[in-house]
Amino acid sequence: MEQTTQHSAFFQGTFNKPVTCTFDVEAASSDGGGLLLGALDRMLGLIKRLAAKLQDKRDPGRVEHTYLEILRQRVFSIALGYPDCNDASRLANDPVLKMLCDRDAVKGPSLASQPTLSRFENSPSARELIEMGRALEDFVIQRHRKRLGPYVRLVTIDLDPSDDPTHGQQTFSFFNGHYGGWCYLPIFGFISFNNEPEQYLFYARLRPGNSRAPRNAIPTLRRIVKKIRESFPYARIRVRLDGGFASPLVFQILEELDLEYIVAIGSNKRLRDLSESWIQEAREKSIESGKAEQIFGEFSYATMSWPHQRRIILKAEVVHLPGHPSRDNIRFVVTNLNHKPENIYKIYRKRGEIENRIKELHYGLGIDRTSCPRFLANQLRVIETATAYILFQELRLRAKRTEVRRAQVRTLREKLLKIGVRVVESVRRVVLHFPITHPWQGLWIKIARKVGAIAT
């Protein structure tokens, strides 16, 4: 490789000896650990399942990159920390990424360029994207049916919207007063089993920025509940929703489907009047103790649009901070559970954990990189990112009983994937030379064996 000043640097007098830095190692990658995700996907068949939903209408004689290869390139690039299509120009000859896309690591042809990726993301129809979303749902449910068997006692569904700020002329970008800017309003669905702490992503749908929270929620619930009952016939199904979903139609569907539910509801004068005795008790306790106090209570309540009364659980809290005046904090949830009020609120409060999952999607994988003018292209990007996240969740499953069993995406990437490696390819095999000083090599080997590697 021809060396120029762009590929080298020289430090004189900075360290004990002069130091020359050159970028001249061929067939090397900074993402050697990405093989874990590649092996995991081959074991699960996830990306192949999604690619099968796309119809390739290109001239076969002119195709250099199949849709399966391109989809793998995008999903693995996102997982490795390269969420933009523009990164393709720098990664086209990365030997590890080529291996993940079933190309020879060293001598294989280059991966798809940015224009090819952009054409790919603009090619799917709305129907194909819907089918890809359904395939994700089916995969998650079937995967955990295989993992846990049919005798699951409780399945919990959490739905939550999030904001995706837009900064251009994207289709269906609207101003949203709640979030104070132009945005999309994607909705995410998570599912958890029994008392497991992990909430598994099964649904990611991009929506116009002016969408109300219940949009897409009802058909999603109908569809996923049917699939859950087919796979886990002995399970109770519980749904937790925030206050944006609290509409008469949502409550009607939850009861028609015979689901357990806990749904937050916004405060109003009538609710505050009914809860006055509890908030007064909390104030008195706070004055006595000099610290924050909370009281839980319940009553029956119905709005004009409800066909009957429903059980309301309230948390009457007085927030007391040193140097600040006391402040009332009242929260209400609607439920059909028979548990004690404090236990119901404790169950509902656990849904807050999905905020961490959504933050992983945003800050760990860049699910908000929806800058394409076409809405459908942006939806495909959301699906690609969701696929990468599902692979990370599978990686966490393989890492149970290790120090990274609950690690977030960035930590998993740093410890397991971002490893400098030199690739040597012969006719018979490929050898990856990892640094002997890698601080988490024991952890890496342990997880590699969980995804199909053989001890040597």
Q: Is residue 76 part of a domain?
A: yes
316 with 405, same domain: the answer is no
97 with 156, same domain: the answer is no
**How many CA atoms does the CB half-sphere of 308 hold within 13 Å?**
6
309 with 324, same domain: the answer is yes
pLDDT tens digits along 223-233: 999 999 999 99
359 with 410, same domain: the answer is no
423 with 410, same domain: the answer is yes
Q: Tell me the residue ranges of DSSP E strands in 143-199.
A: 154-161, 164-165, 174-176, 181-184, 187-193
pLDDT tens digits along 242-298: 999 999 999 999 999 999 999 999 999 999 999 999 999 999 888 888 888 899 999
Q: Is residue 448 part of a domain?
A: no
Q: What percent of the chain has pLDDT over 70?
A: 99
Q: State residue 4's pLDDT score.
A: 45
Q: Is residue 456 part of a domain?
A: no
Q: State residue 323's pLDDT score.
A: 73
Q: Is residue 36 part of a domain?
A: yes
Binning pLDDT at 50, 70 and 90, where does residue 6 land?
A: low
d(CA 53, CA 127): 9
Q: What are the structure tokens assigned to 439, written together? A: 């601080």
Q: Name the burial class of residue 270, with classes exposed (0-12), middle (13-18) and buried (19+) by CB atoms within 10 angstroms of its CB.
A: exposed
Range of the domain at 301: 126-364
94 with 142, same domain: the answer is no
Compute the average pLDDT of residues 80-84: 94
For residue 229, the Cα-to-chain-centroid distance in whole angstroms is 24
Residue 2 has pLDDT above 80, yes or no: no
333 with 398, same domain: the answer is no
pLDDT tens digits along 335-383: 999 999 999 999 999 998 999 999 999 999 999 999 999 999 999 999 9
Contact 356, 188 (CB under 8 A): no
Residue 237 has pLDDT above 70, yes or no: yes
d(CA 98, CA 104): 7
Q: Is residue 46 part of a domain?
A: yes
115 with 135, same domain: the answer is no
How many C-beta neighbours within 10 Å does residue 96 have? 27
| Structural domains in the chain (count) | 2
Higher pLDDT, 309 or 324: 309
Q: Is residue 41 part of a domain?
A: yes
Residue 21 has pLDDT above 70, yes or no: yes
Higher pLDDT, 27 or 158: 158
Residue 5 has pLDDT above 80, yes or no: no
φ, ψ of residue 256 to 5 degrees: the values are: -60, -40
179 with 212, same domain: the answer is yes
Binning pLDDT at 50, 70 and 90, where does residue 178 land?
A: confident
DSSP codes, 243-293: GGG--HHHHHHHHHTT-EEEEEE---HHHHHHTHHHHHHHHHHHHHHSS-E
Residue 456 has pLDDT above 80, yes or no: no
pLDDT tens digits along 397-442: 999 889 999 999 999 999 999 999 999 988 889 999 999 999 999 9
Q: Is residue 102 part of a domain?
A: yes
CA-based nearest residue to 348, from 252, 246, 204:
246
**pTM of the predicted protein model:** 0.93
39 with 134, same domain: the answer is no
d(CA 168, CA 183): 10
Higher pLDDT, 144 or 213: 144
Radius of gyration of the chain (CA): 26
Residue in the structure block whose two tokens are 């969408």? 211
Q: What is the CATH number of the domain that holds 150?
A: 3.90.350
Instruction: Kindly report the average pLDDT of the chain as a whole number.
Output: 93
d(CA 80, CA 231): 33
pLDDT tens digits along 54-71: 999 988 888 999 999 999
Q: State residue 1's pLDDT score.
A: 36
Residue 3 has pLDDT above 70, yes or no: no
104 with 151, same domain: the answer is no
266 with 396, same domain: the answer is no
Binning pLDDT at 50, 70 and 90, where does residue 8 land?
A: confident
Lowest mean pLDDT among 6-20, 53-67, 75-89, 244-258: 6-20
155 by DSSP, 3-state: which? strand
